[in-house]
Copies of this chain bind each other. A is one copy, B any other.
């Protein structure tokens, strides 16, 4: 008795005739007919009444059907479990304190491991990243410092520098460079998904009103239509400056951040593969 035969039995019930069932299974009708005969032989029991040019499922056939469905459900559960497993294995989870490192890592992953599903998580908390990596919930973490945590490896990855993005009409747009203090008090617009940068802005410009925008496209539109300050970095994917705005470097040391990637020691191969 084979699983395929049980599927055939179910198909015959579903389709009503052997001919229709055969078509739905991409088989010829005689082939299915014989396969069902084999099943009857294996079970030592007729499953159909042969009524003229039709075939009708009998009591034994119905008994077989209920059992067949049980078995096939169990089989489907197994297939599902392995499909999940396969998806998990193809998924690479990155937990990061900032978006820019994720962009670069994603690009490398796509190149080095085509087909990999990339699952990025942004957070403003470095300890959350470390925990996720340590517990195996993330394959790779992006943090702000080299780690000494036992069982984890880390190495510097990239440096990102924050810049003001100022409307040309704004008085501060003439300056060659600015400190956070120079702009503190000015309202500014910020995209919500920026990880730890959000903390930095709030700390360094405590007197400014923060206009948080959740929607990326709305945020971009607002850049053109409002004249409040905004931020960009040298790592911004889109290297160009939005029309009507100028980039002004920020002189504070805190505006320059080096990111470190980290992973568990047993996954050292991941780092080796990516760098």
Contact = CB atoms under 8 A, between A and B. Distances in A.
Interface of A: 1-4, 43-45, 60, 63-64, 67-68, 70-71, 74-75, 77-79, 81-82, 85-86, 89
Nearest to A5: B3
A79 to B, nearest CB: 8
Given A45-B86, A64-B78, A74-B74, 5 more contacts: A1-B78, A44-B82, A45-B85, A45-B89, A67-B78
A3 B3 CA distance: 7
Contacts of A82: 43-45, 60, 63-64
B85 A74 contact: no
Contacts of A89: 45
Contacts of A86: 44-45
20 contacts: A1-B3, A1-B75, A1-B78, A1-B79, A2-B3, A2-B4, A43-B82, A44-B82, A44-B86, A45-B85, A63-B82, A63-B85, A67-B78, A68-B78, A70-B74, A70-B77, A70-B78, A71-B75, A71-B78, A74-B74
Nearest to A83: B44
Nearest to A86: B44
A63 B175 CA distance: 64
Given A1-B3, A2-B2, A67 B81 contact: yes
Contact of A71 (B2, B63, B74): B74
